[in-house]
Structure 1
C-alpha cells in the first residue's frame, strides 16, 4: 500500500522542521519504506479533518490512518516487522520513558535557543498563530522566552546522560541507530533545520553522534533543506 506522511513545512515548502515528523521520517528510512510527503502548515486544520486530528505527523497507509509520532513508529513495527524500531515489552517501555525525557527536558531547552529562529522559519501566514499559541503557553513574548545562553546551559545538563552513553557507544541503541536515536534526533534536527546556533561543542560526543545521524540511511537527514540553504 502507498504510504503518505503529512509533514509540517515552513516558509519554504521543503523546509521541514517538526521534531515529531523527523522521528517518523527516520523510522521510515530505517525500514527502507518509500512514502509520499504532503506539506502541511499550522493553520491548515481542515486538511487533517479526515484524521480527526489537528497536528502532524499523520501517516496514511492505504485506508489506515495513524497519528502521533510514537504511535506511528509502533504501527510501523507492527505492519512492517522487519528491522524493528522500538521493539516490544521492556524495549518499548524504555523507549516510551526516553520519549518523555526528551520532550520534557531537551525540547524546552532547545526552544529557548531557537525561539526567534523558529518564528522566522514559520510560513508568514502562520506566524500570528504561532506567536499567539506559543506566547499563551509560555506566559511571555517569544522575544522574552528566547534566551540562547540559558537554553544551552539547560541543554548541556539535559544531555549529560546521553553524552556518557555516547562515549561508549556509537548510537544510543548500540552499533546502529534505532528508536531511541530517532526520538532524540528529531528534536536536534528541529533546531538544526531552523537555526545556525551551535547547540553543543564540535568535540562533544553528542555533536559527533549528530553527524553520524545526518549520514544514516543514505544521508536522508543530511540532504534535507535547512535555513543555511535559503
Structure 2
C-alpha cells in the first residue's frame, strides 16, 4: 500500500509550505512513492482523521504521522534499507537541533519579509482566511508588515551564518551528500522562492550556491515548482 501524503496547496495547486517541502524532499531522498492529497488553508476537515489541523500528514498503512520532523523520524525508522536521512545517530541529533533553530530563529525572521507577497499565491477561496489570520498574528495589515523589509533583511541574512560557515567549503551540511539537516532550511527558502521575488540572499553568498544545489537534487524536484 502506497503512502498518502497530505500537503498544502495554494492557487493553481501550487505547493509552497516550508514544512511540506521538508517532507517532500525526505520522501524523495528515501525514494518512496506516494499518493498526493492537496489541502487548501480552509480545507482542514480533510485532516480531521489525524486529530489535528496542520499539514504535512502522511498515512502509511495503519500509521498516521503529522509534523515534518516526526515524519522524517518515522521514515528513517520504518525504511532503514533506504538512504539515510540523518547519516548516523549523531546526525539525527544534529538535524533535530537545526530543525529547532530554523523553526524558532530563521523562519520568524523570514516571514515578515514575504508575508504580503504570499497573498498572490493563496487560492482565491482562502484569501479572506489567510489575510485575517496573519493580520491577527502580526497585529497589523500584511502590507505594513512587509513595508520595511529592506531594513530587516540584513537581520535575516545574519541568521543564516551557522549554515553559511558550513556550506562555504562543502557541498552540503553533512559533507558530500544531502541530509535532512539540508532539507530543513531548504524548505524555508523554497517557501520564499515559490511565493516572493524579493532578493533574500545575494548571488555571492555561499547560501545561494548551496540552495541551487538543493534545487537540482532528486531530478530537479525543487525546480519543478515554479518560482514567483
Fold shared per TM-score above 0.5: yes
Contact 1:73–1:86 under 8 Å retained in 2: no
Question: Which shows bigger deviation, 115-124 or 80-89?
Answer: 80-89
Q: Paired residue for 2:135?
A: 135
Contact 2:17–2:191 under 8 Å retained in 1: yes
* C-alpha separation in 2, matches of 1:161 and 1:174: 15
The CA RMSD measured in Å over matched residues stands at: 1.4
TM-score by length of 1: 0.94
In the alignment, structure 1 residue 22 sits paired with structure 2 residue 6? no
Give the C-alpha shift of residue 87 in structure 1.
Answer: 5.4
Contact 1:26–1:182 under 8 Å retained in 2: yes
Give the C-alpha shift of residue 63 in structure 1.
Answer: 2.2
Equivalence map 1:120-131=2 (5 Å) = 120-131=120-131
* C-alpha separation in 1, matches of 2:167 and 2:88: 23
Give the C-alpha shift of residue 151 in structure 1.
Answer: 3.6
Query: Which ranges in structure 1 are unaligned for 5 or more consecutive residues?
Result: none
Give the C-alpha shift of residue 223 in structure 1.
Answer: 1.5
Q: Paired residue for 1:104?
A: 104
Q: Paired residue for 1:49?
A: 48
Give the C-alpha shift of residue 225 in structure 1.
Answer: 3.0
Give the C-alpha shift of residue 156 in structure 1.
Answer: 1.0
* C-alpha separation in 2, matches of 1:133 and 1:219: 33
Q: Paired residue for 2:157?
A: 156
Give the C-alpha shift of residue 70 in structure 1.
Answer: 0.2
Contact 1:112–1:150 under 8 Å retained in 2: no
Question: Which shows bigger deviation, 88-97 or 2-11?
Answer: 88-97
Contact 1:21–1:57 under 8 Å retained in 2: yes
Contact 1:27–1:73 under 8 Å retained in 2: yes
Q: Evaluate the alpha carbon distance shift between residue 150 and residue 99 of structure 1 in structure 2; reply closer, same or farther with a 3 A threshold.
A: farther
Question: Which shows bigger deviation, 207-216 or 218-227?
Answer: 218-227
The alignment partner of 1:12 has SS state of helix
* C-alpha separation in 2, matches of 1:217 and 1:174: 17
TM-score by length of 2: 0.94
The alignment partner of 2:184 has SS state of helix
Contact 1:171–1:177 under 8 Å retained in 2: yes
Contact 2:87–2:179 under 8 Å retained in 1: no
In the alignment, structure 1 residue 83 sits paired with structure 2 residue 83? yes
The alignment partner of 1:222 has SS state of helix
In the alignment, structure 1 residue 178 sits paired with structure 2 residue 179? yes
Question: Which shows bigger deviation, 201-210 or 217-226?
Answer: 217-226
Deviation per CA, 1:38-90, whole angstroms, max 9, x where unpaired? 11011111111111110100111122111000000000001111211135643
Give the C-alpha shift of residue 109 in structure 1.
Answer: 2.0
* C-alpha separation in 2, matches of 1:151 and 1:170: 28
* C-alpha separation in 1, matches of 2:187 and 2:65: 18
* C-alpha separation in 2, matches of 1:204 and 1:152: 14
Contact 1:110–1:155 under 8 Å retained in 2: yes
